[in-house]
Structure 1
């Protein structure tokens, strides 16, 4: 298990890699673009090469995250085309950064119904992945269930992956806050969550974990991250992830609210303490 956090890539991948190492991160996550936009800035390949080399030297694992505003299930043709183009760009950027995966949020059916939304999401994933042959996987992240979000349950995510033409190019990222807020797990049902992951084959394709406490209660359907041990999930429940044999091969990445990335240093130490 490699415990880490989200780091800004505004000053380039090399600086982000150094910053991750400074705060004690063994893994870290970066956005491929502005999280609220779809236009990429010019990719600095020389800087990316230095960053990749630095990560390899220090044994740091990188995960990329695509912008929040894409919708894999949009019924609007113009947004559909933009989403496909954008995530293709994201996969290229993530691969250039040496990322093991590029996290994408599941689709929203926006009133068209779950069946339509799921079918549209599968169609979009097929178009994104049909020409991609790189090593970076596209990682479907479970959602909190806000609005018309799809992908709340483990079984739903596995069905979506298996329905595509390219399941081998798709993996999963599990967010602890989203799972709690969607009603997918709590401290009492942790063992059942792990059992479901194993039985469905989800665990075999799990590539990363977003590690967050929740500001809102169980099954609230609201995505509000909190620092570890200070939210509704609590340290005892979250420690089960850190101690479970099922998750020892994954990077565990903090996305908790901070004013400065330096705050992650103390929280990373705290996670190592909880892990024991």
Structure 2
């Protein structure tokens, strides 16, 4: 994955720790790890971001699903220690009509079980669009989780531009206000990464459908403001747009042309 990232002009990448719709994970080979670490060092990579599988629902109403989430996250975090300083992102989950408070209790319980004082990976809660019974539809829900995690220094937030826009935060027209609110509610120091996506849907739609950069409701000018914002421009950005490798290369080149080097 390191060489593939370099081939399209990237200096970091996101990857799934295992099948995004299942539980299987590939065996780790130390030789492969060493090659990747060398590529990352040679090309001055930003931290790589691992994404938990979509099947991980830490606040499910089903005990077996919560047990599965704990098993997967424990294994993922152990595996990520092969890449010191990396990031691990997960969707907080859906409480499935149990209510937000109960869902958050389950998430906090999981994190307090799996986080270790010695780990070198930072775990990120992803901002969500608010469809169905998703937790993480607003900054306050994320704060409720972060405030109760015992090893708070191991936690952060990944801001998804499509999700926050669909959730009702006008990151295009009022980006300063959105980031000011994030700072007041959570603390801007907790913002560790950005999923950079356009949206197929209009503002506050609560839909969560990603679009290619500049081809959705956020628009190219809005995306340019995001990547150049002083509170965001030095964070690692990760594309989650509906593309193949060639399309990602084109988007990276476009974003580099919009990024002001000052």
Normalised to the residue count of structure 2, the TM-score between the two structures is: 0.94
Equivalent residue runs for 1:1-276 within 5 Å: 16-61=1-46, 62-98=48-84, 100-129=86-115, 131=116, 133-258=118-243, 260-276=244-260
**Aligned-residue offset at 1:100:** 1.8
Contact 2:140 2:185 in 1 (8 A): yes
- 1:3 corresponds to which residue? none
Distance 2:50 2:125 in 1: 12
C-alpha deviations, 1:127-169, integer Å up to 9, x for none?
121x462110111001111111011112321221111112111
Change (3 A) 1:212 1:55: same
Secondary structure at 1:220's aligned position in 2? coil
**Aligned-residue offset at 1:215:** 0.4
Distance 1:37 1:226 in 2: 25
Structure 2 unaligned residues grouped into runs of 5+: none
Normalised to the residue count of structure 1, the TM-score between the two structures is: 0.89
Change (3 A) 1:168 1:196: same
**Aligned-residue offset at 1:98:** 4.1
Distance 1:179 1:245 in 2: 19
- 1:6 corresponds to which residue? none
C-alpha deviations, 1:243-275, integer Å up to 9, x for none?
1110132111111111x2122111111112222
Query: 1 or 2 for the larger relative contact order (CA 8 Å, sep ≥6)?
Result: 1
Distance 2:25 2:39 in 1: 23
**Aligned-residue offset at 1:41:** 2.1
Distance 1:184 1:91 in 2: 31
**Aligned-residue offset at 1:186:** 3.7
Deviation >6 Å, runs of 4+: none
Secondary structure at 1:209's aligned position in 2? strand
Secondary structure at 2:13's aligned position in 1? strand
